[in-house]
Structure 1
Amino acid sequence: MSLSVGDVAPDFSLPDQDKQVVSLSAMRGRPVLVVFYPFAFSGTCTGELCQLRDELSTYTDAGVQVVAISTDPVFSLKEWRTQQGFEFSLLSDFWPHGETAKAYGSFFEAAGMPNRGTFLVDAEGKIAFAEVNGPGEAREQSGWKAAVAEL
């Protein structure tokens, strides 16, 4: 079951690409865009996150912190971030496997990977935008941008 607008966003504490723990609760007081994706280095995920990279100012200019979460290990995330020039944190939901994605209703159990879930968490920790796309369904990012504009 996915989260809905108005729900309290589940807290998480996950290591980033540099093995530094990032917690949603530590970012309270500013909005956070939480982007789940299946796998680093895959075609669709690379396209989506490169678009996010290229349009990052849309979010940062609005005061939104961006984090992207997959079940990849931190070592893969570090290399992918370096190769692609991502300036946002890539968080590893590797172990316990997919626990954060499950808490957000964005885990595809049969394949052991997150679905493409996107959640805008407002400064008070509530979901302001929620969308989960199934396997193979690329995201349209205009919905996220509209939700950011409404903050």
Structure 2
Amino acid sequence: MTAALAAAFAAVPAVGGTAPDFELPNQYGEPVRLSSFRGQNVVLVFYPFAFSGICTGELCEIRDNLAVFEDANAVVLAVSVDSKFSLRAYAAQEGYGFDLLADFWPHGSVASTYGVFDAESGMARRGTFIIDAAGIIRFSVVNPRGQARDFEGYRSALAGLGRA
């Protein structure tokens, strides 16, 4: 592992710590603030780019299994470095019923806060943070480039939270 990569992984917020708050525009340009979801569980999903193969497969799996998240009183917030305009077209094409957040400018600032921004490629890595109703990170995983997340990981982590 390179020193830069090791430093990036070291910056990933720890499980058991408070999730860093942020505000980003969704695909419609509406501001979405993480702390506004207190009292509800949040699944924060960072992904590299809209319209890319693995990302689309992962988000479609979430779309097709949204009841898993709803049953756990969890909202899904998917974050990429794309613009809100790209995200609006992507959400419309794929029928996503959850917010896609644009970490476009300053480029990747929220992904950086969560330790998943890859400055060399200008994209977010596949990082997932499950945050409980009190704003505490209860689960996190960062997958290597090109490796999709395992959906069963969501199920297991959400089952451990219970309903808020």
CA contact 1:129–1:144 (8 Å) conserved in 2? no
From 77, 81, 89, the equivalent of 2:87 is 77
From 2, 12, 17, the equivalent of 1:7 is 17
Q: Report the equivalent of 1:148.
A: 158
Instruction: State the TM-score, normalized to the length of structure 1.
Output: 0.98
Find the structure with the greater CA-based Rg: 2
Instruction: State the TM-score, normalized to the length of structure 2.
Output: 0.90
CA contact 1:120–1:128 (8 Å) conserved in 2? yes
Tell me how far 1:4 sits from its aligned partner: 2.1
User: What's the secondary structure of 1:144's corresponding residue?
Assistant: helix
Distance 2:104 2:145 in 1: 19
Matches within 5 A, 1:16-55: 16-55=26-65
Tell me how far 1:62 sits from its aligned partner: 1.4
2:128 corresponds to 1:135: no
Measured against aligned partners, the alpha-carbon deviations of 1:103-131 in whole angstroms (never above 9, x if no partner) come to 11111111010000000010110101000
2:114 corresponds to 1:101: no
Counterpart code for 1:29:
G
Q: Percent identity?
A: 51
CA contact 1:118–1:132 (8 Å) conserved in 2? yes
Provide structure 1 residue ranges, at least 5 long, that are not aligned to the other structure: none
Measured against aligned partners, the alpha-carbon deviations of 1:9-57 in whole angstroms (never above 9, x if no partner) come to 0001000000000000111111100000000000000000000100110
- The ranges of structure 1 where at least 4 consecutive aligned residues each deviate by more than 6 angstroms after the TM superposition are none
Tell me how far 1:134 sits from its aligned partner: 2.2
RMSD, aligned α-carbons: 0.7
User: What's the secondary structure of 1:129's corresponding residue?
Assistant: strand
Provide structure 2 residue ranges, at least 5 long, that are not aligned to the other structure: 1-10
Distance 1:125 1:68 in 2: 17
Counterpart code for 2:77:
V
